[in-house]
Amino acid sequence: MIKNYFESQNVTAIRGATTSSGNTLKEIENSVVELIDELISRNSLDPKKILSITFTVTRDLDACFPASIVRKRFGFDSVAFLDCQQMYLPNDLNFCIRLMALVTLPTGCSINHPYLRGASNLRNDRS
């Protein structure tokens, strides 16, 4: 029975990104909450199936950690989080928050990578 469960599940990476309207706790919180809501709803995710989320932020965002927002707002106590500063590139998006979530999904599920706000230009095929 355990073998059948794991054969029907895949660990999958879901990417996503958004932009914040500024570098305040409230502005970042609004963007992160919207991104996580979209990640969950677009992929019909059971939050218990989220294994980890890595956030990267551009160097102009330093008011808070996105992971702390998600832990407090969504109560993801069993999710492993990591916050990183994204590599700097000239002409990159300002106030950009990216994520990669590792989740378990049934085999054959389609994935919808949420790219929101100004980040929708990063992946025209995924917005």
Burial label for 17, CB within 10 Å (0-12, 13-18, 19+), is buried
Q: 125 in a domain, yes or no?
A: no
pLDDT of residue 102: 98
Domain residues for the domain of 76 are 2-117
Return the higher-pLDDT residue of 59 and 6.
59
> Taking all residues of the chain, what is their mean pLDDT, rounded to a whole number?
91
> Residue 78 gets which letter from DSSP?
T
Q: 21 in a domain, yes or no?
A: yes
For residue range 7-63, list pLDDT tens digits in order.
567 999 999 999 999 999 999 999 999 999 999 999 999 999 999 999 999 999 999
Question: What CATH number does residue 81 fall under?
Answer: 3.30.1330.40
Q: 127 in a domain, yes or no?
A: no
Rounded to the nearest 5 degrees, what angle is found at the Cα of 77, between the Cα atoms of 75 and 79?
Answer: 110
